Amino acid sequence: MNFEQLYADFVMHHYKNSMYRGLLPASTCSVEGSNTSCGDSIIIHLEEGESTIQAVRFEGEGCAISQASASVMAEILEGKTYEEAREIVESFEKMLRGESFNESLIGDALFFQGLKDHPMRVKCVTLPWKTAAKALALNEQKKTGA
Ligand code: ZN
């Protein structure tokens, strides 16, 4: 199988069969984001533990890339510490800006690297990550009481 086929299978798997799509009854933080240029919308739910993100779920609609990206992101961020999560999100965004980034942090999300040359698609693939960044910032605010 060539890369294009692997990539297409990867996106469709996460788009259609995500284990991370749905409500999170124990959610302690929900943040919504949208990408008007494609019509994508995402709600990220976090169950915030003391030092780690206990669970991540998403709801939303839009193109396969935005929804698959949310699924991949949820899989990667679940169980991570907040600091790790912020580094991962930052690395992902750097990758899509064509900057040097820490490959070892982002796991399967590396599949999306090729989208960096397609500005419209960058908006789709980064939407869940920008939304998660907002949720992480809210978590930080709660902790510092700022
Ligand atoms: Zn889209």
Question: Mean pLDDT of all residues in the chain?
Answer: 96
Contact 63, 86 (CB under 8 A): no
Residue type for position 81: T
Dist. CA 139 → ligand 1 center (Å): 27
Contact 80, 53 (CB under 8 A): yes
Dist. CA 112 → ligand 1 center (Å): 13
Dist. CA 54 → ligand 1 center (Å): 28
Confidence (pTM): 0.96
Dist. CA 104 → ligand 1 center (Å): 26
Dist. CA 61 → ligand 1 center (Å): 9
Dist. CA 127 → ligand 1 center (Å): 9
Contact 10, 68 (CB under 8 A): yes
pLDDT over threshold 80, residue 1: no
- For 98-110, the pLDDT digits (tens) are 999 999 999 999 9
Dist. CA 45 → ligand 1 center (Å): 20
pLDDT over threshold 90, residue 94: yes
Dist. CA 12 → ligand 1 center (Å): 14
Dist. CA 146 → ligand 1 center (Å): 34
Provide the pLDDT for residue 111: 96
Provide the pLDDT for residue 144: 84
106-143: b (≥16 Cβ within 10 Å) or e: beebbbbbebbeeeebbbbbbbbbbbbbebbebbeeee
Percent of the chain with pLDDT over 90: 95
- For 24-79, the pLDDT digits (tens) are 999 999 999 999 999 999 999 999 999 999 999 999 999 999 999 999 999 999 99
Percent of the chain with pLDDT over 70: 99
Position 146 confidence tier, pLDDT thresholds 50, 70, 90:
low
Longest dimension (CA), the chain: 51
As a whole number of angstroms, the distance between CA 90 and CA 36 comes to 23
**For 116-137, what is the mean pLDDT?**
97
As a whole number of angstroms, the distance between CA 87 and CA 18 comes to 24
Dist. CA 62 → ligand 1 center (Å): 6
Position 23 confidence tier, pLDDT thresholds 50, 70, 90:
very high
CA atoms within 13 A on the CB side of 41: 6
**For 107-117, what is the mean pLDDT?**
96
